Amino acid sequence: MARPSDAAGPKGRSAVGGAIGGAAIHSARVVARAWRGPLETAAEEILSSPEITQILDRALAGPLPEQVAHSLIRHRVVERIAQELADSGQLDQLIQQALESPRTLEAVDRAMASEAVRHALQRALSGPELRAALASQSTGLAQQVAAGVRRSAAEADRHLFSRRAEATTGVFGGVATRGLALLVDSLAVAAISLLVGAAAGLVGSLVGGIRPHWLAGILLGGAGAIVAAGYFTLFWSTAGQTPGMRLMHVRVLTERRRDRHLTLARAFVRTFGLALAIVPCFAGFLPALFDARRRALPDYLAGTVVVYDDAD
């Protein structure tokens, strides 16, 4: 005959053990809740005691903080925490919340309104480093623009030039390049003439003005012609190129010996030829479209050629 305990089997013993364990856990929870308040109070009293404070003070005054910091660095604790925050997306949320916080905006406004920040900005904006950087950027931009203009002008010269002498297109300056150089030089001459006219007007106002008015007009026109003639003659006879030609990387040389600059007389003759070429609606430059060396009327009269600075 089987005993009752044997009839229960392992399932019966497991149920009994579970019931006993559940009762024990429940009792432990009840005891923990009952003692939570007194335990927290006792822990607070212990931590706030002068002895604990002295122990912590001595510990912080010793090498413990440095050792903790070195341990954090050695084990890359901060990097791991930051990586965990970044992977979970919480770092972005924290940064966004910090940036949108009214306190952050107030702190930024106070910082920008402070005298120290204003002085720092003034020193930074007026410093030589910033001026040098701006000058470098401006110079680089101007060089890029000038290089682009030169390439476009050279390409236009190749398209405008006569097909029968294409072998010389990379040596002699064409109509487009020389036209842009002349435009720049014309602006420079106009600016100089304006300054001369303003100076003459100022001097004339000191003596009551120039009478009659037609005489003043003739004098100003003559002064402009003298400025233009002196401008081209001076630059061609000394540097071999005007500022406009330097911008376009072309220069004037003698036709027979291209390694020589123009004499003063030859430069004056070329200036006179330039005026003759401009007067009939720039018709004096048409021969440059067909001549093998791209010579125009000023070149024929003065025996010169216009070549690129980088020509072989």
Within a domain: 34 = no
What pLDDT, on a 0 to 100 scale, did the predictor assign at position 222?
Answer: 85
**Domain span at 254:** 143-308
**Cα angle: 170, vertex 172, 175; to 5 degrees:** 105
Within a domain: 15 = no
Within a domain: 217 = yes
Within a domain: 79 = no
Spell out, as residue ranges, where the chain has pLDDT lower than 50.
1-8, 10, 164-168, 312
What pLDDT, on a 0 to 100 scale, did the predictor assign at position 208?
Answer: 67
For the chain, the domain total comes to 1
Would you tell me how many other CB atoms lie within 10 Å of the CB of residue 184? 17
Given a contact cutoff of 8 angstroms between Cβ atoms, the answer to whether 175 and 237 are in contact is no
- Residues 178 and 288: their CA atoms lie apart, in Å, by 10
pTM: 0.55
Question: Which residue spans within 181-288 are E strands per DSSP?
Answer: 250-254
The string of pLDDT tens digits covering residues 160-180 is 765 544 444 568 888 899 999
What pLDDT, on a 0 to 100 scale, did the predictor assign at position 26?
Answer: 53
Within a domain: 65 = no
Task: Please report which helix (H) or strand (E) contains residue 306, including its range.
Answer: strand 304-308
Within a domain: 86 = no
Task: Give me the phi and psi of 308, to 5 degrees please.
Answer: -75, 145
- Residues 63 and 142: their CA atoms lie apart, in Å, by 61
Within a domain: 218 = yes
Within a domain: 304 = yes
